[in-house]
Amino acid sequence: MASDMIINHQERAHALLKADADKILRLIKVQMDNLTMPQCPLYEEVLDTQMFGLSREIDFAVRLGLIEVSEGKVILAQLERELSILHEASLKK
C-alpha cells in the first residue's frame, strides 16, 4: 500500500508534467489561431513565461527524486518539437 503510494507520486508527477506541457501547446495553438503572430513580442513573452514555469516544475520534480533528469529533458524536447511544427505550419498559412 505504502509503496503503491510512492509509485503513485512518481507516476502522478510525470502525468502532471506531461499535462502541463500539453496545456502550453494548446495555449500556443489557440493564440496562433486567434490572436497574434509568432513574430509578435507578446507571443514570445507568453511562451517564455510558460516554458519557464514548466521547467521550474520539472526541476522541482527532479530535486524531489520523482522523475529522472532525462525524463524531464524528454518532456521539454517533445514540447519544443511540437511547438516548432506549429510555428512552421503557421508561417505557411
Angstrom distance (rounded) from CA 23 to CA 65: 24
Angstrom distance (rounded) from CA 93 to CA 81: 19
Q: Where are the beta strands (DSSP E) in 1-93?
A: none
Size of the site for a second copy (CB under 8 A): 19
At residue 91's C-alpha, the angle toward residues 85 and 93, to 5°, is 105
Residue 34 lies near a second copy (rule: CB under 8 A): no
Residue 30 lies near a second copy (rule: CB under 8 A): no
**Looking at residue 67, what DSSP letter applies?**
S
Residue 23 lies near a second copy (rule: CB under 8 A): no
Among 34, 39, 41, 63, binds a second copy (CB under 8 A): 63
Among 27, 64, 77, 91, binds a second copy (CB under 8 A): 64
Residues that bind a second copy (CB under 8 A): 2-3, 5-6, 9, 12-13, 16, 49, 52-53, 56-57, 60-61, 63-66
